[in-house]
Amino acid sequence: MSQLSEAAVAQITEICSRYENEPTPLMMILSDIQKEYGYIPLDVQELVSEKTGISVAEIYGVVTFYSFFSLKPKGKYVVGCCLGTACYVKGAQNVIDKFSELLGIKPGETSDDGLFTLDALRCIGACGIAPAVSINGQVYPKLSVSDVPGIVEKYRNGEVA
Ligand code: FES
């Protein structure tokens, strides 16, 4: 807990208190923390445990079971490659493999410079423009392997906010 700033402790305490009358508050608390900080490291889990009386083991189990919770900080740019059926049949595996090669990371990893996280996603609701990739919420439609280097360069060069 020593790693957490006073402001973070106060904010997490406030998030825990939002749900003190809920019979099963854990998912709501963790969702709010994930939204606020982007990840839920162990010292935050310990603080949630202290505030709610829920064991760290239970909290850790939930954080690691659900893929939308993250234990580690994500990169500045989160590259979400859809591998749902519609995207998969249109070559999404080759697209994610190309991102993986160029970024030097596997799905679920973050580059050492903190710039990129690569995620493999299930259907993101853009099947009509498959294969689709979402980078920080911006959706790139009908991608082919040859589009990937240009997109990576654009982000590496800071041409995208
Ligand atoms: S399967 Fe990729 S958007 Fe639906």
Residue-range domain boundaries for the chain: 6-65, 77-156
Q: How far is the CA of 104 from the centre of ligand 1 (A)?
A: 24
Shortest-distance atom of ligand 1 to CA 92: 2
Cis upstream peptide for 131 (omega within 30°): yes
56 within ligand 1 shell (Cβ under 6 A): no
* pTM for this model (two decimals): 0.72
Confidence (pLDDT) at 18: 96
159: Cβ–Cβ under 8 A, 6 or more apart, which residues? none
CA distance 30 to 89: 35
102 within ligand 1 shell (Cβ under 6 A): no
Shortest-distance atom of ligand 1 to CA 124: 3
Task: Identify the helix (H) or strand (E) that includes residue 97.
Answer: helix 92-103
Confidence (pLDDT) at 147: 98
Confidence (pLDDT) at 45: 95
94 within ligand 1 shell (Cβ under 6 A): no
54 within ligand 1 shell (Cβ under 6 A): no
* Cβ count within 10 A of residue 146: 8
Confidence (pLDDT) at 1: 42
Shortest-distance atom of ligand 1 to CA 85: 1
| 3 state DSSP class of 120 | strand
123 within ligand 1 shell (Cβ under 6 A): yes
132 within ligand 1 shell (Cβ under 6 A): yes
The tens-digit pLDDT sequence of the chain (161 residues) is: 457 899 999 999 999 999 999 999 999 999 999 989 888 999 999 999 999 999 999 999 999 888 778 888 889 999 999 999 999 999 999 999 999 999 999 998 999 999 999 999 988 889 999 999 999 889 999 999 999 999 999 999 988 86
59 within ligand 1 shell (Cβ under 6 A): no
Domain at 77-156, CATH class: alpha beta
